[in-house]
Structure 1
Amino acid sequence: MQVVVPFAAESPKTRLESVLSFSEREALARAMLGDVLEAILETGHEPTVVSTARLSPESESDPVTGHADIGTLVDRGVTIEVDDRPLTDAVNTRLTAANGPVAVVMADLALATPDALTKLFATTADVAIAPGLGGGTNALLASHPEFRVDYHGASYLDHCRIAGEIDASLETVDSFRLATDVDEPTDLVELLVHGSERQRALSTLLAFGFDLETTAGRTDLRRVK
């Protein structure tokens, strides 16, 4: 099975501009990518990163968090390809060329675990989708040779429709960890609550000085330094 991880290298996480600088967003995006790749490797699969720009792998540990960077994961079987086309086009090219099942896992699933991904990878349906909150598609597995993606708008509904049009069996994978992608400042709360300090993303966020603040029964994000 081929596992594809799209990664937007040039303009990382623009919706986090209100709380993170460009360099911080870049570091967090790379940390989340590392966590996703690590989780995939632990399932026994070797993922391919499809990056919009050259992604220089570093073999040294991050001086802030101490975690090994992408270079170590490349040494363990991760492949990096550059493809600057829109997400839909880049993924469909790989679906068209594939000789078997293809999984597509987004790079910002900071809470993804090997167990959650194994549940997706183990499906016997022609198309399995792990939807994100708000109607997106955070991860999918396509075994039907005619299935193609369309990531515009409410892509989960579009992918369900496309599966129906080609008479493909469909399974929705219900997973909190795969449903949680980090796009908005409120998503960082989920990372602080449910992340593990063994993960690059949480360690990076803590190194930036973020913490949880509970007021009037609501948990929010605060920066303490």
Structure 2
Amino acid sequence: MTTPDPEHQPSTPDPVSRDRVYRSPMGILGGVALLAIVFWLGVDALVRGESRTQWLALAAMILIVPLASAFTLRPAVYANEERLRIRNPLRVVVVPWGQVASLRSGYSNEVVAQSGTKYQLWAIPVSLRARKKAAQHADRTAAEKNTAGRGGGGGRGLRGSRGAADANGPTRAETDKIMDDLRELLENHGDAESAQGEVSVRWAYEVMGPAVAGAVLLLILLAVA
């Protein structure tokens, strides 16, 4: 019996890197609150309402719950060293880094494929208020540094009082930091062999199906009134 030569053993593929997951905390919070209200009103109508009211409440819940969940709880962005997977309300888009032309941040964050197609990142919404707050903090920090440089000890005293209070303030909006992380992944892995492939798009029929069923049922109930 011969012992296999370790140098000639078949190499095992490197494991795929773990996903970084990005979601909107405010979107999740708003979704939970909205669903709680829908269930509260719907269950109350089902328990206390008459026959027609119960059917209307049931149809409305079948319509609203999937859509409310899709636009608040569902959105997420998964990124690793090979691809960007975008789970938007009504579809899932997988874009290998080799197919990403750019990542843009304006009034919304979006990825632009090499084909020119744009895909919005619902899970990473732009906050103009957060951007303004970060810009103001950066301006204050720069002004205090200039004051400290010109004023000597007096400048240091000013920095020690007011400047210290703002030392931990934001220098970049949180969603802009996330986009910086994604751009770094694109820059580091865009040319890698494992990051090549085609863009794939899958519609979220698990969301659309129940919502359409609820809408049809609601229309029928309203039509036979």
TM-score, structure 2 length as denominator? 0.25
Q: Which structure: larger Rg?
A: 2
Between 1 and 2, higher relative CO (CA 8 Å, sep ≥ 6) is seen in: 2
